[in-house]
Amino acid sequence: MENNEHAWGKLLKYYRQKKKRKQDDVAFGICTPSYLSRIENGLVIAEHSIYAQLLENLGIDFNQLEQQLKNQTAFLEQLYEKLLLNAELTSDEIKQLTDIQNDEQPFEQQLMAKLVYARFLYSIKEDDEARTILNEVEPLVSWKKDRITQLFVAITAFGHLSFHEFEQLSLKEAENQFAQYLSNAHPFELANYHYHIAFANHRSYKLHKALEHIELAQQFFIHQYKPLFQLKLYSMKGVIFNDLHRFREAIQEFEAGLELLSNVQTIQTPVQWSSLHNNIAYCFECQENFPEASKHYELANQYDEDLHSAINWMRTCFVQKDFDQLEILFNRYEEIRFTVPHHIYQRRLLQYAVDTAHTIRGLKLLEDEAFTHFDEQQYYSLILFYAPLWGQFYEQLHAYKQASHCYRQALEASEKVRQRMSS
């Protein structure tokens, strides 16, 4: 609900039309019909007593309605904050959220409830249904600094991440500066939005833009106690520094994350420990400190929560020629356990890489499947690792044309990364 009298004008129009009353009847004894029309359309703001009398003519208690709408708005805001903090909604909360969307509620309450419900759907991976709701709401967004616009901007951004539309989100913010609509929102919401934009820019290899937005997120998050989000900020900034080859600063961010995680029991989950150790390990892997990388990948895999770290550990074992440990990992993490395509392809590539019976046909089949997927999904770092390796295998089989093609793929991936990092 808008926190001003313009909202009461809209409500008057809503209830008058709902009760099928004419402006002349409702305005009788209070104001002229033309003045009521101007109130309803937000052209004038009347005195508080005028709204109360007009609503009374519609059989509505102004004070009771005001309190009801305040309670509903507070409830929706409470649910939205829970969703931002990755907290689950109760079945009763979900039912109430669904009820507020019905036609018996004021229109803006319905819109706000629909937006919060869309954010809930994203949290339970019902992405298509969430996007359908957002598409329905979009034509009704005013594109002012009101609550509906703020929620639409923030939830749409989260939706782009859910669909892995990183480049699209990055460009939308760069071209439209949607963050401006959140300038008068709660600082945590603004911090959350900049975190999402940083994430999108990082995945689009626009690392300097990513760093700019993560620093904005930190700036707006000052003096707030939400340790899980603070941990996300440390991790994201560390990952960005790592990809900028600012390794010392990356380790500082990760160490700050470790200290926070060690001291705040409420956020000490296997997922958080595993994710943080995986990030530290990858930082050491990028510095070619493979023993230290393996140590942290092993720590990450103790929690058995993140198969991404399992793949990364396999890759590090291969580079170190620690084939005994690699075989243990292959047996522990069979292909059937993986669901993410780039994890499946990496496992197949690594399994085939340790096979002594390479054939041109076998190499080509894997190359066509895996490298095409890596390029489509913009996993250029994976092309930079596996394409030269495949080139070497082709050379050993005297398949120099195929080897040259692999090296060219690596060169093109490197150029794409360079262009984006310099943009």
Which pLDDT belongs to residue 227?
95
What's at 223, amino acid-wise? Answer: H
Burial pattern 217-228, b for ≥16 Cβ within 10 A else e, equals bbebbeeeebeb
Which pLDDT belongs to residue 303?
85
Measure Cα distances from 423 to 174, 208, 209 in Å.
Answer: 12, 8, 9
Name the burial class of residue 34, with classes exposed (0-12), middle (13-18) and buried (19+) by CB atoms within 10 angstroms of its CB. exposed
Return the structure tokens found at 15: 């209830």
DSSP3 helix / strand / coil % (the chain, rounded to 5): 80, 0, 20
Which pLDDT belongs to residue 410?
95
Rounded Cα distance between 70 and 74, Å, is 6
CA proximity to 330, closest of 319, 357, 313: 313
pTM score, two decimals? 0.83
Which pLDDT belongs to residue 3?
45
CA proximity to 9, closest of 144, 108, 110: 108
Given a contact cutoff of 8 angstroms between Cβ atoms, the answer to whether 313 and 326 are in contact is no
Sign of the torsion formed by the C-alpha atoms of 231, 232, 237 and 242: positive
Which residues, in sequence order, are CB contacts of 337 under 8 Å at separation 6+? Answer: 307
Rounded Cα distance between 217 and 219, Å, is 5
Which pLDDT belongs to residue 2?
46
Mean pLDDT, consecutive 10-residue segments, the chain of 423 residues? 60 82 86 87 83 84 80 93 92 92 73 94 95 94 92 97 94 95 94 97 93 97 91 97 95 97 95 95 95 95 86 96 95 93 96 91 95 93 95 96 96 87 69
Rounded Cα distance between 200 and 270, Å, is 25
